[in-house]
Chains A and B, each alone.
Chain A
Amino acid sequence: MAIYIYGVIDSNGRPDDPMIGLEGALVCNLPYRDLGVVTSDLDARIPHITKEHVLGHERVVERLMVNFTVLPFRFPTIFDKKEDVLAMMNDHYDDFRDNLGRLRGKAEFGIKVIWPGDKIRTRMAPGENSAPMPAPASPARSFLKKKFEEHQIEKKIEDEADKHIALVDGFFNKFAAEKKLEKLKTENLLLNALYLVEKEKQGDFRQAFEQLRSSPGELKYLFSGPWPPYNFIKMIRP
């Protein structure tokens, strides 16, 4: 027997609707002061990483999200016994309370922007029309020249990326309470952006995406959300 944790919520009451979680187990809310830790008792000690289990975890968290502020736990978080779970709640109570307060009424949205990295690189490379460089006089000079040119290309790509990212972020920034922008995680993934958006502004946020998607250009976009705030939980205390 093991206690599986889906997340912590801002309520210590019993959920209105009975929920079924991983492996068909009932989902319970274990109260701790004014909070609750949402769990299932599992027969298996560790649930395997399968599509069903991962989606099962997410389904429970999304159901919770409808009525509560929820701090989702990473899959799979397991404890041996109830006393250990309560000890964990005691250790982290202040962090949980602070996060729940900060994230109340907000949801996470993801925007991925993809550009043709290989084409951009080719475009940034010195073309035939560029001014001819004098022939290098030695292998060392040749090496340095090559390095310099590579550096110039990288800088141009970075500048181009920054320009596009500023443009994209301009669509969403005013609707976001918090954001995380990750540039060029891979050659083609120009931007992986995460925005934390208040409920009242989520309509405007979606509208901003509609505007962005209708703009011309070679960028492609992926929109996802609303999500529980997986990416905006800050655990400060050890």
Chain B
Amino acid sequence: MPLTNDHIKQRLTGKFGDQVMNFQEPYGMLSFEAPKDMNLKVISFLVDDEELKFRFLTDLCAIHYPDGKGRELAVVYHLHNLEDNVRIRFKVFTDITKPDVYTLTGLFAAANWMERESYDFFGVNFVGHPNLKRILNVDEMDYFPLRKEYPVEDQSRVDKDDEMFGRG
């Protein structure tokens, strides 16, 4: 029997009930969210379950939604079932003033650098990460540049005329 989105949803709600919510299927890819302290439980269930077998972590990233009060930062996990070739997307949301999310490095070694990247750009504090420090930006950087409150342009410039660059 092929692994359908409905079946995945049924297995998840059967195990976690109301705690997994907001199921969507944009472009046919199942997408859902859970409370942030549930992330390890949900993902280990997705990995270990004999029917789901989502054993490949495709991507891990963060998003900043400045308008969502109390749930400004999202951590997004993309998982892949290589046997049935099915992909899903799983999100947890966290408050930007206390962006603590449990680390996935215990389950997937590949999460190590991706979590460092999410920390580097968004300041998500991955609790239990073995080496949570900046990975791509300069070490001296004192802010998280992809949070929406920071402009993308380099602020040290004095000689670039904004009007000449189409943003006057």
* A and B bind: no
